[in-house]
């Protein structure tokens, strides 16, 4: 891995191996929790990204970390690429602004021709702090809203969750669950052993290949390798959750999710299109929510994208933004 050195603005380029312990501890103290800012996630994402890796420690001992990437044209961005749903500095609650400011000062001193920071939560101070610093150092900086990332707080029991939905959404969810249960014996489980997780992953990709339209084109061979590498990295840590809805004596839907701290995050899902009339996609999500409640998770994160089913399930928008900054 190549590290770019540059002027120290409270930041020091370091290797990820040097920072792994501190990085994990800082990610644990971030609010809200995000699997995408952990060293394990970034390590896999970087393996699938040809850009030069730049890892910055803020302070010594570190009280903040920034995983960056430098593209061949000199553009500096957060590491992770398009499949890292949330990108940001890694800092404990209350220290986000000071860490973002220090990172922005380092970036300005390094003087890349372009800075592009995407999928950064608008409710974090990062974009504002960095735009302020970069503008003051001669960059033309523009912030914009990028995409919604719905989530919602989980109640203490599933019935309370169902009651919290709008009248129409509540009626539809109950109807769909009832229709599936009347049509066939249907169950939901988490894959719990290495062998079961391997078989479930294979089924997940097979279901994607059965899909139609854009979903059929989504799971390219390169993306399948990324999913498998993420699964291999997170499963030993207990952070991978593969939920299986079984119906008509087959694994009819698979939910690919992450368990990190108080949050269960839905990353992707696939189902048998031959059973679409039984709404197995929506029911698999609902039953994953039911299991998350039973395990006392506090947040169900539907992640990036404004697909209608996310709002039918109770999602509330959390917005992700972008900062584009260029030197004149």
Dist. CA 259–CA 4, nearest whole Å: 33
Which has the higher per-residue pLDDT, 254 or 60?
254
- Write down the H helix ranges in the chain: 16-29, 39-47, 96-110, 126-136, 158-164, 167-183, 194-210, 214-218, 221-234, 280-294, 308-312
- pLDDT at residue 23 in the model: 97
**For the chain, domain boundaries:** 11-149+319-326, 151-301
The torsion angle over the Cα atoms of residues 23, 29, 32 and 35, rounded to 10 degrees, is 30
Chain position carrying tokens 């197995």: 280
Mean pLDDT value across residues 48-77: 96
Dist. CA 141–CA 117, nearest whole Å: 11
Mean pLDDT value across residues 310-328: 97
Mean pLDDT value across residues 195-201: 97
In this structure, are residues 257 and 243 in contact, taking their beta carbons and an 8 Å threshold?
A: yes
Q: Does residue 178 register a pLDDT over 80?
A: yes
- pLDDT at residue 126 in the model: 98
Q: Which residues contact 94 (CB under 8 A, 6 or more apart)?
A: none
- pLDDT at residue 215 in the model: 73
Q: Which residues contact 132 (CB under 8 A, 6 or more apart)?
A: 101, 104
pTM for this entry: 0.93
pLDDT tens figures, 124-169: 999 999 999 999 999 999 999 999 999 999 999 999 999 999 999 9
- pLDDT at residue 3 in the model: 38
The confidence band for 7, taking pLDDT boundaries of 50, 70 and 90, is very low
pLDDT tens figures, 218-229: 899 999 999 999
In this structure, are residues 319 and 124 in contact, taking their beta carbons and an 8 Å threshold?
A: no
35 Cα distance to chain centroid: 6
- pLDDT at residue 4 in the model: 37
CATH class of 11-149+319-326: alpha beta
Whether residue 190 is preceded by a cis peptide bond, meaning omega within 30 degrees of 0, is: no
The confidence band for 20, taking pLDDT boundaries of 50, 70 and 90, is confident
Q: Which two tokens stand for residue 252?
A: 């009819």
Q: Does residue 8 register a pLDDT over 70?
A: no
Mean pLDDT value across residues 263-270: 97
In this structure, are residues 313 and 305 in contact, taking their beta carbons and an 8 Å threshold?
A: no
- pLDDT at residue 108 in the model: 97
The answer to whether domain 11-149+319-326 and domain 151-301 are alike in fold is yes
Q: What is the percentage of the chain residues whose pLDDT exceeds 70?
A: 97
What single DSSP character describes residue 277? G
Dist. CA 90–CA 124, nearest whole Å: 11
Q: Does residue 90 register a pLDDT over 90?
A: yes
Q: Which residues contact 55 (CB under 8 A, 6 or more apart)?
A: 3, 13, 14, 15, 16, 19, 65, 66, 67, 68
Task: Return the CATH number of the domain spanning residue range 151-301.
Answer: 3.40.630.30
φ/ψ of 149, rounded to 5, equals -140, 85
How are the residues of the chain apportioned to helix, strand and coil, as percentages rounded to the nearest 5?
45, 25, 30
């Amino acid at each position: 891995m190549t590290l770019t050195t540059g002027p120290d603005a409270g930041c020091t380029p370091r290797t990820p191996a040097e920072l792994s312990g501190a990085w994990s501890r800082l990610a644990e103290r971030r609010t809200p929790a995000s699997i995408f800012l952990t060293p394990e996630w970034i390590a896999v994402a970087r393996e699938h990204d040809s850009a030069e890796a730049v890892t910055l420690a803020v302070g010594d001992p570190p009280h903040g970390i920034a995983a960056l990437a430098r593209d061949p044209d000199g553009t500096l961005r957060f590491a992770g690429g398009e499949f890292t749903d949330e990108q940001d500095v890694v800092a404990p609650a209350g220290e986000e602004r000071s860490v973002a400011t220090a990172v922005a000062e380092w970036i300005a001193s390094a003087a890349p021709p372009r800075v592009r920071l995407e999928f950064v939560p608008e409710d974090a101070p990062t974009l504002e702090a960095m735009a302020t610093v970069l503008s003051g150092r001669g960059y033309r900086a523009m912030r914009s809203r990028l995409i919604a990332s719905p989530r919602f707080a989980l109640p203490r029991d599933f019935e309370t969750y169902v009651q919290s939905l709008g009248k129409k959404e509540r009626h539809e969810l109950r109807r769909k669950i009832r229709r599936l249960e009347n049509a066939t014996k249907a169950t939901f489980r988490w894959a719990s052993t290495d062998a079961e997780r391997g078989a479930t992953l294979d089924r997940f990709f097979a279901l994607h290949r059965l899909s139609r339209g854009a979903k059929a084109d989504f799971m390219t061979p390169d993306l399948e390798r990324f999913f498998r590498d993420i699964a291999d990295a997170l499963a030993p840590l207990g952070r991978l959750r593969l939920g299986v809805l079984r119906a008509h004596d087959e694994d009819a839907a698979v939910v690919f999710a992450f368990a990190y701290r108080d949050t269960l995050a839905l990353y992707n899902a696939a189902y048998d299109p031959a059973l679409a009339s039984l709404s197995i996609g929506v029911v698999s999500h609902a039953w994953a929510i039911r299991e998350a409640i039973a395990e006392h998770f506090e947040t169900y994160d539907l992640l990036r994208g404004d697909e209608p089913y996310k709002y039918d399930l109770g999602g509330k928008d959390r917005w992700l933004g972008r900062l584009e900054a260029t030197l004149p």
